[in-house]
Amino acid sequence: MRYVSTRGGAQPQKFSDILLEGLASDGGLYVPESFPKADLAGWRKLSYPDLAFAILSGFMDDVPDLESIVRATYTREIFGSDDITPLQALEPGFHLLGLSNGPTLAFKDVALQLLGRLFESVLEKQKRNLNILGATSGDTGSAAEHALRGRRGINVFMLSPQGRMSAFQRAQMYSLQDANIHNLAIKGTFDDCQDLVKAVNADAAFKARHRIGAVNSINWARVAAQVVYYFKGYFAATPSEGGQVSFAVPSGNFGNIYAGHVARAMGLPLRRLILASNENDVLDQFFKTGTYRIRKSAQPTSSPSMDISKASNFERYVHGLAGAERVRQLWQELDAAGEFRLPPPFDIVSGRSTHADRVATIRWLYEQFGVMVDPHTADGIKVGLEHVGPGEPLICLETAQPVKFAETLHEALGREPARPAAFEGLEQRPQRVEVMDADAAALKRYIAEHAQ
Ligand SMILES: *Cc1c(COP(=O)(O)O)cnc(C)c1O
């Protein structure tokens, strides 16, 4: 399998050559030249690791130890059950697909646990080291740290805004004692953290000297890993061949739902792919009107992992619709005017969910089914139910555990979710964090001293 840029201006590359890269040299994102074909009958009965290997070997055909990496990743020890992503029927045809049973209780673990092992293996073969630099407002940073802790040849420098994350989120990151994990609490906002990452990356000489890399949501391996659970959920919800299902996906950077789009391109019989936005509804506006208008900044909400001002993976979807030539033009328009237009209709439908909607949905699910869901999952359910007719099977993706968002759960239910045993006393564990001014020179000094 070879990978090309969404803007058409970079040499085709093998998977192992794009794995550690961020953007392509022309500023685009890598996409595969074609999509492998699904074998629905052959895949239906496979266990999660077997299914993952069948799907991923089509995208990662130059990773010789892929099978052992996949088998080491998708285990009961890491994801809590042999199903890895268990499907729960709330009533006939209305399902939750549990994607948040990994080490940090958010769906990002499904892809990042694989990515950590892929990075380690490819770096070892290339006899290279990598220093991952990232900024987080919560879920991504902790999922990345838990995926990369203790891995050979990798250091992680993760910036977070001091005092702006929940005590639980802070503890998930700062309690890691691994020598290769460096938590840097920046005196500033999440935007300041992102600006610092940009400033370091803009210094090409520094970046090359210290082998600076990233694990952001545009990494193709993350998309590919997420394709697997769409098939898994489909097989679990359709007892025999031939059925169709719809998926509802709480969306931010468009990585999760884009994986569903890829699954459909491979042959998954999807009826509707339903995108849920929160108050930051850039994507909902696009799918309703055809105008993609990015914002200056995102508005903080109670489903914070969907707070975006633009959606980084969206360019891949537009590439599939309109091709590289058009992507180049549209992103020039976007840089100049902050928006572009594409004519509807699209093969994704969408809706918007607000704070009041998610609180009401959390309450309704608890009263109706005795099930607690987190605010992001609630956004997906609210919008999903608006788009399916009676008797039409719906799978709502559960993207985080409610315990991570205890405050909103308390507002909705007057009580807090139970905590999984492994997380008892998390906030009381010793923490390792370096507090730093929002100063690029100081950050570079720190990296230079601690990089390997
Ligand atoms: C990251 C995240 C999302 C959004 O996923 P995208 O791939 O960015 O669209 C939704 N819910 C939770 C809990 C997340 O962590």
Residue 264 lies in a domain: yes
Q: Is residue 189 part of a domain?
A: no
The CA distance from 284 to 125, in Å, is 43
CATH of the domain at 332: 3.40.50.1100
Q: Is residue 146 part of a domain?
A: no
Write down the pLDDT at residue 289.
97
Q: Please indicate whether residue 288 is annotated as part of the active site.
A: no
Place of tokens 């807090």: 416
Residue range(s) defining the domain that contains residue 385: 82-104+225-413
Q: What local confidence, expressed as pLDDT, does residue 21 receive?
A: 80
Q: Looking at 4-137, list the stretches that DSSP marks H as alpha helix, in order from N- to C-terminal side.
A: 15-18, 40-43, 48-59, 66-73, 76-79, 108-126
Residue 347: predicted pLDDT: 97
- Give the mean pLDDT of 31-56: 97
pLDDT at 166 over 90: no
For the chain, what is the domain count? 1
Q: Check if 375 has its Cβ closer than 6 Å to any atom of ligand 1.
A: no
Mean pLDDT of the chain: 95
Q: Secondary structure of the chain: what % helix, strand, coil (to 5)?
A: 45, 15, 35
Mutate to test the pocket of ligand 1, among 136, 278, 305 (most ligand atoms within 8 A of CB): 305
Ligand 1 atom showing the smallest separation from residue 377 Cα: 11
**Whether the CB of 399 sits within 6 Å of ligand 1:** yes
Distance 249 CA to ligand 1 centre (A): 9
Could you say which of 108, 310, 382, 404 is catalytic?
Answer: 108
Q: How far is the CA of 302 from the centre of ligand 1 (A)?
A: 13
Asked whether residue 89 is domain-assigned, the answer is yes
Q: Is the pLDDT of residue 441 over 90?
A: yes
Give the pTM.
0.95
Strand ranges across the sheet with 394-398? 87-91, 94-98, 394-398, 245-250, 270-277, 349-352
Residue type, 322: A
Asked if the structure places residue 277 within a domain, the reply is yes
Q: Is residue 37 part of a domain?
A: no
Among protein residues, the one whose CA lies closest to atom 7 of ligand 1: 255
Q: Is the pLDDT of residue 138 over 80?
A: no
Per-residue pLDDT reduced to its tens digit, 55-104: 999 999 999 999 999 999 999 999 999 999 999 999 999 999 999 999 99
Any domain includes 254: yes
